[in-house]
Structure 1
């Protein structure tokens, strides 16, 4: 089970990364793990939970993958979560 604070922290990381330039933002599970001081297993679980709402990423969320791309449609699906 993903903790509320971990989920919220990951969403903040994603939203901040996207809003810096307004362009597509890519990140990896390792980026989330490093930014939030989580194990990669916990970070993978957090990203998997976010994916349920984002309905965008596919796969098993490997830690060192090319990255997950966040763009306007993904941000739109995540808006209002925990606000």
Structure 2
């Protein structure tokens, strides 16, 4: 189960990485693992939790891919979470 601090950390990572020119921000589970010092399992659990709420996993990534894209519309939904 994803913990509050882990979710907040990932959301902060997304906020910092998202550019102001509204181009999609791309990241992987590995990026989160290295940036936040989480295990891969915890990072995937946190992404799954955020994903359930924000639905930014579009299903258009190749099978087995751990890449994520945050579009401007989804970013707008995420900006106030645990701010």
TM-score, length of structure 1 as denominator length = 0.82
Deviates more, 1:71-80 or 1:14-23: 14-23
CA distance in 2, matches of 1:7, 1:26: 17
In structure 1, what is the equivalent of residue 4 of structure 2?
4
In structure 1, what is the equivalent of residue 22 of structure 2?
22
Deviates more, 1:47-56 or 1:9-18: 47-56
8 Å contact kept, 1:33–1:39:
yes
TM-score, length of structure 2 as denominator length = 0.82
Deviates more, 1:41-50 or 1:67-76: 67-76
In structure 1, what is the equivalent of residue 47 of structure 2?
47
CA distance in 1, matches of 2:21, 2:38: 26
Alignment RMSD, CA only? 1.9
Q: How many residues align?
A: 79
Deviates more, 1:41-50 or 1:68-77: 68-77
Structure 2 regions of 5+ residues with no counterpart?
Answer: none
1:45 shift after superposition: 0.2
Structure 1 regions of 5+ residues with no counterpart?
Answer: none
